[in-house]
Amino acid sequence: MNVLSLFDGMSCGQLALKNLGVKVDNYYASEIDKYAIKIAKKNFPDMIHVGDVTQVESKHFGADGFDTKIDLIMGGSPCQGFSRAGKNLNFDDPRSKLFFEFVRLVKELKPKYFLLENVKMTREHRDTISDVLGVEAIYIDSALVSAQTRKRYYWTNIPYIFGPINQHVILKDIIQTEGELKGSTVDERMVTNKGKAYCLTARYDGAVWWNSIERSQRTMIRIEDKVCFPEATKKGYAAVGVGEGLDLSYPTSTTRRGRALIEKAHCLTTISPNQGIINEKYNWRKLTPIECERLQTVPDNYTEGVSNAQRYKMLGNGWTIKVIEHILKNLEI
């Protein structure tokens, strides 16, 4: 089987094929990020990188060692222009237009199968992609197979694709133990320990108001066996215990909800995560690169060999491997 992976990143597609036991004769990868290429080559030294997707042409296949027949084209074109977390630039964003490079190569190379992944987007843009590719989008949340909520659309002509069965994986299942972390440098933040309810909101029973400086310092308060923090709910706060998580993307906000990570982490992004867990010392600790690998169902230390910042970035850009395995297992080779 010959595969062309566009926007290959750290080669998640190849990892999924390997896990499924699919024999790949040639794996061609288009990628420009040098760190992602380094990690992909570390794990798959025989893969063939073909450079920038805009420079890949069908005439290249059949010359200079390339095989003439591509059986599968897959990729996740850059999502910043489509993402609701971005600026909603959509098809006017140059990064979103790279989607049409995927379309061009599918039309030129005529593979038996194709697979495109992208973020949850407006119905208009989802339907536009469906019309161009001639298949309906399949919606899958990675939360079914991992401890991360990651909502994505998949467009493919691989037959019989339905959502995976819920594996009931929760955040506690992927957390590194203290033994695993021994000798590692972790980002850990102290939690104020108070015997009664001092907090950022006056809605606590017996709470007191603090001035803005003190409030910004007291974003997490331990009360008995829980760490409490402000939440825009009727109660005014939420609480998590050891092994549960907390998203500190907006640490001093009193107007946000959904920051407690009881069973699932939020979707990984390309920046160092502000998501963490409450450890046995009742301190907040940032998710480690290995824990983020586990959220993406990637083997431990798959991304080792570059800085942590680059590891977080490529994992945020990557695919949830078990979702891709679920789709590719229906390949009729």
Among the listed residues 146, 20, 150, the one whose alpha carbon sits nearest the alpha carbon of residue 76: 150
* Residue numbers of the domain that contains 18: 2-163+319-328
Quote the percentage of the chain above a pLDDT of 70: 80
**Number of structural domains found in the chain:** 2
| 88 shares its domain with 43 | yes
| 137 shares its domain with 111 | yes
Q: What is the pLDDT of residue 168?
A: 97
Give the count of beta carbons closer than 10 Å to the beta carbon of residue 138. 16
Domain membership flag for residue 305: no
Among the listed residues 274, 293, 267, the one whose alpha carbon sits nearest the alpha carbon of residue 142: 267
| 10 shares its domain with 150 | yes
Q: Phi and psi of 291, rounded to 5°?
A: -65, -35
pLDDT digit string, tens, across residues 283-305: 888 999 999 999 999 999 999 99
* E strands present in 72-194: 72-75, 113-119, 138-141, 151-156, 188-189, 192-193
Q: How many residues does the chain have?
A: 333
Say if residue 172's pLDDT is above 90: yes
Decide which of 182 and 117 is more confident. 117
CA distance 237 to 227: 10
What mean pLDDT do residues 270-290 have? 88
- Fill in the amino acid letter for 37: I
Q: What is the CATH number of the domain that holds 38?
A: 3.40.50.150
Say if residue 210's pLDDT is above 80: no
What mean pLDDT do residues 232-260 have? 78
| 122 shares its domain with 249 | no
| 158 shares its domain with 199 | no
| 144 shares its domain with 269 | no
| 27 shares its domain with 147 | yes
Q: What is the pLDDT of residue 144?
A: 98
| 154 shares its domain with 181 | no
Q: Which two tokens stand for residue 126?
A: 């989802």
- C-alpha distances in angstroms, 8 versus 35, 36, 38, 218? 12, 8, 12, 42
CA distance 19 to 25: 15
Does the predicted model carry a pTM greater than 0.75? yes
Show the CA angle centred on residue 40, arms to residues 270 and 130, nearest 5°: 60
Q: What is the pLDDT of residue 252?
A: 59
Q: Phi and psi of 36, rounded to 5°?
A: -65, -40
- C-alpha distances in angstroms, 80 versus 55, 91, 233, 269? 21, 11, 31, 11
pLDDT bin (cut points 50, 70, 90) of residue 259 is confident
Give the count of beta carbons closer than 10 Å to the beta carbon of residue 60. 14
pLDDT digit string, tens, across residues 79-107: 545 544 444 445 565 556 788 899 999 99
| 94 shares its domain with 218 | no
| 8 shares its domain with 51 | yes
Say if residue 208's pLDDT is above 60: no
| 130 shares its domain with 200 | no
Q: What is the pLDDT of residue 212?
A: 30
Domain membership flag for residue 311: no
Query: H/E element holding 223?
Result: strand 221-223
| Beta-bridge partner residues of 155 | 116
Which sequence positions are flagged as catalytic? 79
Place of tokens 């027949």: 69
Quote the percentage of the chain above a pLDDT of 90: 56
